[in-house]
């Protein structure tokens, strides 16, 4: 999916295909690249402001990102690697 989206962007005069940004973002999220997914969803919103699909994916990815950060933070505290 990522390669297909990249090919679509490469073949276009400008990368204004918001669906491709969303699909690439979804693929990145599935591979654990939450930061990359967030960037793609934000780009989709730049091309199509307020689009509910991109906004929903962005909110879900941001939530996963916060949960992952909080989990890692808690693990470090429990291991004693992080001091408050």
Domain spans of the chain?
Answer: 2-79
Q: Using pLDDT thresholds of 50, 70 and 90, give the confidence band for residue 61.
A: confident
pTM: 0.71
* Mean pLDDT value of segment 5-13: 86
Highest mean pLDDT among 8-12, 22-26, 66-70, 72-76: 22-26
Number of C-beta neighbours around residue 43 at 10 A: 19
Q: What is the CATH number of domain 2-79?
A: 1.25.40.10
Average pLDDT, the chain: 83
Q: What is the distance between the alpha carbons of residues 66 and 48, in angstroms, rounded to a whole number?
A: 25
Q: What is the distance between the alpha carbons of residues 29 and 26, in angstroms, rounded to a whole number?
A: 5
Report whether 21 contacts 47 (CB < 8 A).
Answer: yes
């Amino acid at each position: 999916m990522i390669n297909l989206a990249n090919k679509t962007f490469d073949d276009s005069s400008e990368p204004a295909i918001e669906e491709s940004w969303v699909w690439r973002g979804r693929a990145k999220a599935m591979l654990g690249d939450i930061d990359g997914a967030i960037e793609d969803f934000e780009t989709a919103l730049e091309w199509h402001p307020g689009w509910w699909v991109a906004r929903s994916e962005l909110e879900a990815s941001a939530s996963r990102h916060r949960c992952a950060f909080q989990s890692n933070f808690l693990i470090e505290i429990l291991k004693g690697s992080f001091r408050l």
